[in-house]
Amino acid sequence: MFAASSSPFPSSTFVTTTTTRSPKPLFAPFSPVTPPLLPPPLRCLHSNTLPLPTNKKKKKKKPYGGVLPSILHSLNTAADVARALASLPDSLTPKEITVVLKEQAHDWSRAVTAFEWFKSQTGYSPNAIHYNVVLRALGKAQQWDRLRLCWTDMARNSVLPTNNTYSMLVDVYGKAGLVQEALLWIRHMRVRGFFPDEVTMCTVVKVLKDVGEFDRAHRFYKGWCHGRVELDDLDLDLESSLGFGNSNSNSKTNNGSASMSISFKQFLSTELFKIGGRVPASDTAHSTNSSSSNATQKPRLSSTYNVLIDLYGKAGRLSDAADLFAEMLKSGVAVDVWTFNTMIFICGSHGNLGEAEALLGKMEEKGVSPDTKTYNIFLSLYADVGDIDATVCWYRRIREAGLCPDEVTYRALLGVLCNRNMVRDVEDLIDEMERGFVCVDEHSVPGIVEMYVGEGDVDKANDLLKKFRRNGELSSSIRAAVMDAFAEKGLWEEAEDVFYGERDLAGRKRDVLEFNVMIKAYGRAKLYDKAVSLFRGMKNHGTWPNESTYNSLVQMLSGADLVDQARDLMDEMQEMGFKPLCQTFSAVIGCYARLDQLSDAVSVYEEMVRAGVKPNEVVFGSLINGFAEHSSLEEALEYFHMMEESGLSANLVVLTSLLKSYCKVGNLEGAKAIYERMKNLEGGLDLVACNSMIGLFADLGLVSEAKLAFENLREKGRADAISYSTIMYLYKDVGLLDEAIEIAEEMKLSGLLRDCVSFNKVLVCYATNGQFYECGELIHEMISQKQLPNDGTFKVLFTILKKGGIPTEAVAQLESSYQEGKPYARQTTFTALYSLVGMHTLALESAQTFIESEVDLDSSAYNVAIYAYSSAGDIHKALTIYMKMRDEHVEPDLVTYIYLVGCYGKAGMVEGVKRIYSQLEYGEIESSESLFKAIIDAYKICNRKDLAELVSQEMKFTSNSEEYSEIESETEYENGSEAEYEVGSEAEYEVESETEYD
């Protein structure tokens, strides 16, 4: 895939059909350490992620002349800067002092020491340039207190700040994340009587752009062009948006605004107070350089245009970016590769790949050579739209242009290949990188691991990680991303290996992000005890849980219905000074509602309001649904009205819950009102609402209305198992058995029998209509789908067996075995049903499973097997099972003799029948109507009507009851009432909401 190719770049046809995609950030290049001979093993290289494009070329320093090289060499090798400077034979010029300070600025302490030494020398005259160098060094190191002292010293020595001073201060404070403080320096400029020059203006625009204040940046630029600065427009409240003071913020932020903003503002206020009377108190600073109020100025620097173009691109103002680019060309301002890369990136990231490629041609016309980053942009853009061929083509063009791919190139290409799970191509690319002495950047590792895990090749993912462990250390964020790749697939042990893996910590502690991901991994695997244990042990490892730790853990435990632990953690969280998210409160409230602990749910809701967290639709939906499930219409309506009063609009989920509440109490008018309201919402009625209305109509006996609602659903293809079973039961209850059976048949053919409840409802309909064979088929289908029959199913089956002619003693025996949970109690019931309805093949297969098993069977199992083989006509096998029963020392019971008499009758073994009858006469077998009937039937089968009549007379005499006064030759068993087939309570089949409020 990556071999050299002469194939042309994709034609414009692709460009015209490209859709708009968001650009992926690319990263700054990193030069790997290259062994001289052998390619290096796979290893990670830590690189800082930067936004695209980053095309600033490092300018080569011009060699210093005169004595400077020797002076700088001695300073760089000296531990004591002051002593090294004192040994200099001659004094230095101001320009040479500037060079010395700049060369020492990489270490703020050395720069300050050198500056203090120069100030102590006789004849030294401080100037703004020297102070600017030192101030910048202190600002870059975030030594704010020392910076203020240096600023005060500057004023004490009567050195006035310049535009460069203010530009530098805005820059260092902005890069430290102290945006508000950076902009205060512009107000200070105004008091000093300065108007920002182009460099300062550009710096302010860049600071505002980097925090997303695009409109403010635009207004500042336009005001500058017209010679004014709106100072009020620079008052920002960025603390919340930038996360200042938050425990999750980075170290720079924590050292910044949250900890020193007040003292800094006091410092500036003091400075402003000292000189506050020098200029008129105005909210607008005007330029003193403009010859008239209508004069406008335009930028003259390429860097300014580049920043402004990037601003408009990020703001989505493509026409403004294009106008600036055109103005830049028209004004004769030099365009550079940075300019073109920015324009290409803007056009391409907004889907205009054709214009982006046209800019590449324009670039060549202007004599600006594309660099590797130019091609990286195109490679990334085509990767974003999923065009692998074009992506690889741009990769090849880098080498065709005589350039070398860098880490950005490989990272982007590896990313798109991993996203497409192109394992072989990823491995080929890594091999190519190693041959070129280029190492895989650590930011690519999570994507490669995720690809291997997604393909089920966990071993390769582990091998990759082992290579990195041998040669380097993954950064905390990358390690967390790798763990997350495992966690998403439920591979908690692999995630745990990464978390606890051997590594040279060198006194470092695990980042809180790693703990959070590991807790998530345990939660995904439902290992909640491990998750809580890890959380409790965080502090012992020197890492304190943050707000995200608490929120995710509380939500996890709530989702697992471990609400007591979740509630305790939420209380602990607030004691630690963290405020739970709305989703966290919602999870706990939803859990209490699911567990029917509505008073606790209300308590958490009230706590939420006291904490100042505004409830959302999910919170109200959980409460409304909870009360709806308990038929508490009044409480459900109370929270519904509270929701509307808070300004939240009721969605389908909430209205469906309210509709259920109306339906549960049988309030037809209220339900209709909600039903009509739901029709007007976007998306229309949902299935749960429709089923609720069908159920309400059915409960109220409104057959026509229920039928109409059901037919409407069925015509739209939206009817589900609940819809069918509800209307089927309605038809059954009103005596429309044919219609009920028709619905049942349609339900089967539609594949809607997917759970035990739906099977049971159809089973009841068949049983009520006397269609026992269809019941047998349905049970077989149910078992084939691996749907485990429940108590309701067996209740129906025992009734079918009674009505189908199985002796009552046999049914009672089966029912008792089932209730006691005896081995094969379920299987024997199925066997009896199959035999009853004539499904003998299935019956014998079923009987064989328990007869040939190693489990000790009781008489009920042997009895069913005898009945199954006897019903199938295999009398020999039936009698063999009876003999096995005796061999196993299982005593025959009444049911055994009933089935045994049947076997003797079918085999014509009159003597066998006589023997059992004799035992019955002499009281060796308890008297039973079922046994008498079995003996009579056996004699009739043997064509011994005389003996049958004799037994019949004996039966009448024995029973001495009018119940047995008339014994007919063949007894018909009429179907009983429909109520005998009802499964469980009505509540078992109520329409339930399909939406959970977790």
Which ranges constitute the DSSP H helices of 805-928? 808-820, 825-837, 840-851, 859-871, 875-887, 894-907, 910-921
pLDDT tier, 508 (very low <50, low <70, confident <90, very high otherwise): low
pLDDT tier, 96 (very low <50, low <70, confident <90, very high otherwise): confident
pLDDT tier, 588 (very low <50, low <70, confident <90, very high otherwise): very high
Output the DSSP codes for 193-224.
T----HHHHHHHHHHHHHTT-HHHHHHHHHHH
pTM: 0.60
d(CA 397, CA 342): 19
Q: For residue 295, what pLDDT is reported? A: 65
Please tell me whether residue 116 adopts helix, strand or coil conformation.
helix
Most confident of 66-80, 320-334, 647-661: 320-334
For residues 710-735, average pLDDT: 77
d(CA 183, CA 294): 26
Q: At what angle do helices 582-594 and 598-610 cross, to 10 degrees?
A: 170
284, β-bridge pairs: 230
Q: What are phi and psi of 286, to 5 degrees?
A: -110, 150
Please tell me whether residue 311 adopts helix, strand or coil conformation.
helix
Q: What is the dihedral of CA 537, 540, 543, 547, to 10 degrees?
A: 40
Question: 275-324: per-residue pLDDT in tens?
Answer: 433 444 445 555 555 444 456 888 999 999 999 999 988 888 888 888 88
Question: 224-255: per-residue pLDDT in tens?
Answer: 998 888 877 777 654 433 333 343 434 333 33
For residues 63-73, average pLDDT: 71
CB atoms within 10 A of CB 606: 9
Please count the CA atoms within 13 angstroms of the CA of 780 that sit on its side-chain side. Answer: 19
Which ranges constitute the DSSP H helices of 474-597? 476-488, 492-500, 512-524, 528-536, 547-559, 563-575, 582-594
d(CA 724, CA 221): 67
Q: For residue 756, what pLDDT is reported? A: 84
Which among 911, 920, 924 has a CA at the least distance from the CA of 954?
920
Mean pLDDT over the full length of the chain? 79
Output the DSSP codes for 664-722.
HTT-HHHHHHHHHHHHTSTT---HHHHHHHHHHHHHTT-HHHHHHHHHHHHHTT---HH
Give how far the C-alpha of residue 17 lies from the chain's centroid of Cα atoms, to the nearest Å: 31
